[in-house]
Amino acid sequence: MTSNLPDTFDAEGHRGCRGLMPENTIPAMLKALSLGVTTLEMDASISKDKKVFLSHEPFFNHEITTLPGGGSIAEAKEHEYNMYTMPYDSIATYDVGMKPHPRFPKQEKTKATKPLLADVFDAVAEDIKINKRPRPYFNIETKTMPETDGVFHPGPEEFVDLLMEVIKKKNMEDWVIIQSFDFRTLIYLHKKYPHIKTAMLVEATDKRSFRKQLDDLGFTPTIYSPAYEIVTQNLVNESHEKKIRIIPWTVNTKQKIMELKSWGVDGIISDYPNLFNG
Distance CA 269, CA 278 (A): 17
Confidence of residue 278 (pLDDT cuts 50, 70, 90): low
pLDDT, tens digit (0-9, with 9 covering 90-100), for 215-227:
999 999 999 999 9
Domain ranges, residue 185: 10-276
pLDDT, tens digit (0-9, with 9 covering 90-100), for 46-91:
999 999 999 999 999 999 999 999 999 999 999 999 999 999 999 9
Residue 122, domain member (yes or no): yes
Domain CATH code at residue 75: 3.20.20.190
Confidence of residue 7 (pLDDT cuts 50, 70, 90): confident
Contact status, residue 210 vs residue 238, Cβ threshold 8 Å: yes
Distance CA 254, CA 264 (A): 16
> Is the per-residue pLDDT at 2 higher than 70?
no
Overall number of domains in the chain: 1
User: For residue 4, what pLDDT is reported?
Assistant: 65
Residue 94, domain member (yes or no): yes
Angle between helix 183-192 and 210-217 (nearest 10): 50
Residue 1, domain member (yes or no): no
Burial of 268 (0-12, 13-18, 19+ CB in 10 A): buried
Residue 3, domain member (yes or no): no
